[in-house]
Amino acid sequence: MFKKRRSLRKNLHEELYAQIPDMICPPGCSDCCCLVRFSRYEVAQISTTRIIRALFKRFRQATTQKCPYLTEDNRCNIYQVRPFVCRLFGTADIERLRCPKGMGPEKKLSAEEAEKLINQFLRIIDL
């Protein structure tokens, strides 16, 4: 049962992530890197060491601090397993998701497409 659920979580997240266009941020840019809500699957992907788990627990309630996974030179320490919101930022034509530096993919998601993905994420966040 547990393996089935873990596999379902993984598949749902991979399907969701695949719908987000790729974009490249300038090296060292961390303008959008604040604490965001993680799904259980994302926490499991990130929480591979005690230190990371401790950092996550310490900062998960904060909303205005910089992300605890940023390195000293403002690079993402968990880029390969970054959460949905981090993947979505800068890729959609929605004010709250726009990159302050104007970066983004060649073709951005429409507001409707982004809202659809956000709603999908909210449905699977606690699976």
What is the spatial distance between Cα 83 and Cα 39, in angstroms, rounded to a whole number? Answer: 8
Q: Average pLDDT for residues 3-10, to the nearest whole number?
A: 87
Q: In this predicted model, what pLDDT tens digit does every residue of 44-67 receive, in sequence order?
A: 887 765 555 665 565 555 555 788
What are the structural domain ranges in the chain? 2-124
Q: Please give the model's pTM, rounded to 2 decimal places.
A: 0.68
Question: Over the chain, what is the mean pLDDT?
Answer: 84
In this prediction, residue 81 carries a pLDDT of 92
**How far is it between the farthest Cα atoms of the chain?**
45
Mean pLDDT of 28-36: 86
The residue type of 71 is T
